Amino acid sequence: VIYNAIESLPVINYDFVIIGGGTAGNVLANRLSEISRFNVLVIESGPTNEGVLNSIVPFFAPQLGGSAYDWNFTTIPQRGLGGRILPLPRGHVLGGSSSINSMFYTRGSSSDFNRFASATGDPGWSWDNIQPYIRKNEKWTTPADNHDTGDQFDPSLHGFDGINAVSLNGFPQPIDSRVLTTTAELHEEFPFNNDMNSGNPLGVGWLQATIDHGKRSSSATSYLASNFQARKNLHILLQTRVTRILQTSTSVSTLAFRTVEFTSENASGPRRRITASKELILSAGSIGTPHILLSSGIGDQSELRAIGIKAIVHLPSVGKNLSDHPALSNAWFVNSNDTIDNLSNNATLRAELLQEWEKSKTGPLGNAGASHIGWLRIADNSSIFQTTLDPSSGPNTPHYELVISSGAGLNSGLPGHFVSIGTVVVTPAARGSVSLKSTDPLDPPLIDLAFLESEFDVFVMRESIKSARRFLSAPAWKDYVIGPADAFANATTDELLDQYIRNNTISVSHPVGTAAMSAKTASYGVVNPDLRVKGISGLRIVDASVMPFIICGHTQAPVYIIAERAADMIKMDWL
């Protein structure tokens, strides 16, 4: 049941209050409300996702950044980027970032999860043991054009009975065959991987995306589909901002936080409070979660004191360990008029294609931004390893990603016809932070991604661009690629390449780690492996912030997996 205003919410006892109706929050909303005697409340700051066309039509996703459905956070000036300030999009809408993201579905590597298990001492987080949760989440779906997908994925690796739709693209890109030919021609460096979600992502393969017959599948459209929304024991309060969580019991032996304080999104009206009888679950994401914890006096004691907040729980790791993937978009002019730039640069054509999409959910608008992605490692004997330990979780884990697309992208504004290869550092060594600007919980926090502050990250970015150039030097692209475009064209030496990197790197919007899991006995970390906040009862954190290390892939699938397991752990404790 959806409520749009605080005043309309009934006064009842809620067993669980979930803060944030985002990717993880809606998994919990669904799984906990399966138990009819649990009353579940979700408090979400954003509005409904229903009817938001840019969120429904996959091709329009890039228009959501900077819109009313984005929190519109920005970073502090980034020292590694010559002082540039970056936007850091986060979904401000039911479904959270799953309602505004680029829909790539990648699980990371098996060793990423095995490292979660070893870092926390909980084998339940290992690759083998999370397999049931992958399947609870995933509902493999045929692509919108029903093309033959025989050699494009491995069905044995996928779940067909889950909730969240995953599919291959439903419309071919004009460069598809050239990409595949390259994997044969340059087999050594760019081997074809027919399913990069096996735990061994290395190679180049077909993109899988959270798309359901041409429409976005988000945690809101899937886990909160109308049959689930109709549950009488599930209440979802929209347009309501959680300001703090409050201590419920003052006894030192049972420090409990089960009370949530909130106000309407436009901050009109008084702040209200609700106390959950079983647990509060913080699912406000990697920025929102530490922001709420710090505003509530849970964080580093001296840092809180410095801005005028009395620490109730001294947990120095809150807001630390922020990791994100630095990314660059690199475009080359091509010798063809048949590129996706036709859609990006021609509003009339987009309107025509939208009519086709509205009728049948087919056509190029039903696709995510690429057909193929690649996952690669820098050479084992790279000079950087003389000074830096490899931050990747193991030898089956890439250091960088190549996102191969026809066209320069919907937001590029570049006139002409292009092929582009996005380069992403997926095992960054740098760590940033989220901290408070003021004692006012409605003030946005200070976000420092620390991008390119580690030499390793710059090294990998440089190597990834060289690798992208080698990819396009395959015979398959002869007569097609004319040459690099825009600022990229001037990056002709290593020095100029570094300048180009620092001037143009952006975030691919994968922040994690700001309320990280650690072993129960560790002196650092924010939550135990069961996701309970250390030293506090009644409070769990379930979202991207609990990842102790960033996954080597796009982060939504791991968030879904973490949330599915968290739901099981919570049920186990209360049933």
Ligand X SMILES: Cc1cc2nc3c(=O)[nH]c(=O)nc-3n(C[C@H](O)[C@H](O)[C@H](O)COP(=O)(O)OP(=O)(O)OC[C@H]3O[C@@H](n4cnc5c(N)ncnc54)[C@H](O)[C@@H]3O)c2cc1C
Query: Closer to ligand X at the Cβ: 162 or 484?
Result: 162
Residue nearest to ligand X (CB): 22
Of 92, 213, 235, 510, the catalytic one is: 510
Q: How far are the Cα atoms of 20, 371, 451 from residue 322, in angstroms, in the given order?
A: 19, 30, 10
Residue choice 20, 58, 170, 214 for contact with ligand X (CB under 6 A): 20
Q: Least Å distance between CB 401 and ligand X?
A: 11
Q: Cα angle vertex 518, ends 516, 519, to 5°?
A: 165
Query: Closer to ligand X at the Cβ: 264 or 528?
Result: 264
Of 158, 291, 399, 554, the catalytic one is: 554
Task: From 510, 86, 446, 68, select the one nearest 286 (Cα to Cα).
Answer: 510
Q: Cβ distance 513 to 322 under 8 Å?
A: yes
Residue choice 6, 15, 17, 22 for contact with ligand X (CB under 6 A): 22
> In the stretch 397-416, what mask flags binding to ligand X with x, by CB under 6 A?
--------------------
> Is the Cα torsion angle 159, 137, 533, 546 positive or negative in sign?
positive
Q: Least Å distance between CB 565 and ligand X?
A: 14
Q: What are phi and psi of 31, to 5 degrees?
A: -70, -35
166 assigned ligand-binding residue:
no
Query: Closer to ligand X at the Cβ: 23 or 111?
Result: 23
Number of residues engaging ligand X in binding (CB under 6 A)? 41
Does 264 sit near ligand X (CB under 6 A)? no
Does 23 sit near ligand X (CB under 6 A)? yes
Query: Closer to ligand X at the Cβ: 429 or 434?
Result: 434
Query: Closer to ligand X at the Cβ: 70 or 390?
Result: 70
Residue choice 292, 468, 497, 517 for contact with ligand X (CB under 6 A): 292
Q: Cβ distance 205 to 178 under 8 Å?
A: no
B/e letters for 162-196, b = 16+ CB within 10 Å, e = fewer, are bbbbbbbbbbebbbeebbbebbeebeeebebbebb
Q: Cβ distance 334 to 481 under 8 Å?
A: yes
- Token couple for 312: 């109730």
Residue choice 58, 174, 214, 285 for contact with ligand X (CB under 6 A): 285
Query: Closer to ligand X at the Cβ: 100 or 309?
Result: 100
Amino acid identity of residue 106, one-letter, is T
Q: Cα angle vertex 376, ends 203, 402, to 5°?
A: 85
DSSP letter, residue 512: B
Q: Where in 313-332 is the site for ligand X (CB under 6 A)?
A: none
Q: How far are the Cα atoms of 284, 378, 512 from residue 317, in angstroms, in the given order?
A: 17, 31, 13
Residue choice 549, 556, 561, 570 for contact with ligand X (CB under 6 A): 556
d(CA 500, CA 466) in angstroms, rounded, equals 13
Q: Least Å distance between CB 507 and ligand X?
A: 9
Residue choice 109, 509, 514, 528 for contact with ligand X (CB under 6 A): 509
List the end-to-end C-alpha distance of the chain, in Å, as a whole number. Answer: 24
Q: Cβ distance 515 to 541 under 8 Å?
A: yes
Query: Closer to ligand X at the Cβ: 279 or 390?
Result: 279
Residue 471 neighbours by CB distance under 10 Å: 24
Query: Closer to ligand X at the Cβ: 242 or 404?
Result: 242
- Token couple for 319: 């807001």
93 assigned ligand-binding residue:
yes
Clarify whether 510 is annotated catalytic: yes
**SS3 state at 392:** coil
Q: Where in 90-149 is the site for ligand X (CB under 6 A)?
A: 90-92, 96-98, 100-104
Q: How many residues comprise the chain?
A: 575
Query: Closer to ligand X at the Cβ: 212 or 390?
Result: 212
Q: Where in 31-70 is the site for ligand X (CB under 6 A)?
A: 43-46, 65
d(CA 415, CA 220) in angstroms, rounded, equals 36
Q: Cβ distance 317 to 524 under 8 Å?
A: yes
d(CA 33, CA 285) in angstroms, rounded, equals 21
Residue 507 neighbours by CB distance under 10 Å: 19
d(CA 113, CA 558) in angstroms, rounded, equals 9
Residue 300 neighbours by CB distance under 10 Å: 18
Q: Least Å distance between CB 219 and ligand X?
A: 7
Clarify whether 235 is annotated catalytic: no
Residue 86 neighbours by CB distance under 10 Å: 20
> In the stretch 454-493, what mask flags binding to ligand X with x, by CB under 6 A?
----------------------------------------
> In the stretch 224-263, what mask flags binding to ligand X with x, by CB under 6 A?
-----------------xx---------------------
Does 293 sit near ligand X (CB under 6 A)? no
Residue keyed to tokens 């030919």: 181
Specify the pairing of strand 215-216 against strand 16-19: unpaired
Q: Least Å distance between CB 82 and ligand X?
A: 23
Residue choice 554, 565, 567, 570 for contact with ligand X (CB under 6 A): 554
Residue choice 294, 312, 541, 559 for contact with ligand X (CB under 6 A): 559
Q: Least Å distance between CB 213 and ligand X?
A: 18
In the annotated binding site for FAD, the residues are 93, 242
In the annotated binding site, the residues are 93, 242
Residues known to be catalytic: 510, 554
**Where do contacts with ligand X occur on this chain (CB under 6 A)?**
19-25, 43-46, 65, 89-92, 96-98, 100-104, 241-242, 283-286, 288, 292, 509-510, 543-544, 554-557, 559
